[in-house]
Amino acid sequence: MDEHEEKERFRRAFSPLRASGGVLTEVFEMTTRKERRAPRAGKRLLVIALTAALALALAAAAYAADLFGIRALLVPGEGRVSLTQFQAIPEDLPPETYAKAENFLDAWAEWKAWRDEYIEKYDPKGSVGCGYDTGYGVRDETMGKMLEQIAAEHGLALQGGVRAGYVNVAWSSDTTGLTGEGFYTNEELAELTASFAGSGSIFAETPVGFDKVYWFPEGNFCVSWYYELPGGEWITCYGCNSRYDVLTNSREVGTAALVDSASFKARSHTAPDGTELTILSNGQEAYIYAWLENSFFAERVSSDIELTDEVLDDIADTLIYSRIGK
């Protein structure tokens, strides 16, 4: 077998692994170089090179398949996740959904680049906010006008500041033992989600308890609720819905920094209503997210007890995603 035939055989053997042809050619050339004084070294080099090529190919295939789905939530360079602003978009989304999500990311990237350059150049002394949500990082009138301009050019609404009368908040009287304005029973809170979340209650069944529920006029909302294990222990679930047509920042909900993002294993799950979900878990902490027609929904699940796949599937199935944003 001549060198050309050997090279083609090498390519065919590794092509299913999706490594680039250039990489495989380079590895092949490395392994077929002849050294007269060290004939046995070639075999060892071949094994090492093939192993390296295989590892590279598998890593590339894993990245392409989004087996490390934490990328959708992990804020680059900050080591934390965001429940209110997705960070990456899978290529296999429906074209209409992809276009909406891409437009959002383009707008945020444009604003962030302009904001950072402006702050570095002029060092504005105003306090962060200036009537806008503090997560935008606006410090003066000029920045506010540019934020509004960028949002308008992309057809996006702005989420206002978290101030009295702007964000609506409700709590559970069943969970807290308190009553009065803003407090509802668990059943009433579950039903209340129909008034701001979409076409009906987003819960398939009433949770055992709520921490809080809050929503904004533009359509974004968050629900913090509890799931009860068979043994009676409660698990905290914190879900946020962010519309593609609202320029939401990534700091609306704070989450702990991820010590080891690679420890999260990703898998897919289909909810009873047919919604395709991604579930990420390291056994103690989990994230569940879905690319919906008009919004991105992400939820953090945390517990001191091991989170099994069965428990996470049941938590995921508690929500009716097809009603959100409709």
Q: At what angle do helices 95-122 and 141-153 cross, to 10 degrees?
A: 160
Q: At what angle do helices 41-64 and 21-32 cross, to 10 degrees?
A: 170
Tokens standing for residue 169: 């908040």
Amino acid occupying residue 156: L
Which of 301, 261, 282, 285 minimizes the C-alpha distance to 74? 261
Tokens standing for residue 236: 């905290």
Tokens standing for residue 288: 């569940």
CA distance 198 to 220: 11
CA distance 315 to 204: 11
pLDDT of residue 1: 52
Sign of the C-alpha dihedral, residues 24, 25, 27, 32?
positive
Contact 271, 316 (CB under 8 A): yes
CA distance 282 to 289: 15
Residue ranges per structural domain of the chain: 3-64, 168-323
**What residues contact residue 108 under an 8 Å CB cut-off, 6+ apart?**
85, 247, 249
Phi, psi of 81 (to 5 degrees): -105, 160
Phi, psi of 123 (to 5 degrees): 45, 60
Which of 279, 274, 269, 270 minimizes the C-alpha distance to 322? 274
Q: What is the dihedral of CA 196, 201, 203, 207, to 10 degrees?
A: 80
How far separated are the first and last CA of the chain, in Å rounded?
Answer: 64
Q: How far is CA 180 from CA 168, 172, 183, in A?
A: 15, 10, 6
Tokens standing for residue 141: 């009138």
Contact 206, 186 (CB under 8 A): yes
Give the pTM: 0.78
User: pLDDT (tens digit, 0 to 9) for every residue of the chain, 326 residues total?
Assistant: 554 454 444 334 333 333 333 333 333 333 333 333 333 444 444 544 454 444 444 334 334 444 448 999 999 888 889 999 999 999 999 999 999 999 999 999 999 999 999 999 999 987 788 888 888 999 999 999 999 999 999 999 998 765 556 889 999 999 999 999 999 999 999 999 999 998 899 999 999 999 999 999 899 999 999 999 999 999 999 999 999 999 998 877 656 667 688 889 999 999 999 999 999 999 999 999 999 999 999 999 999 999 999 999 999 999 999 999 87
Which of 101, 94, 63 minimizes the C-alpha distance to 298? 101
Phi, psi of 9 (to 5 degrees): -65, -40
Pairing of strands 80-81, 74-75: antiparallel
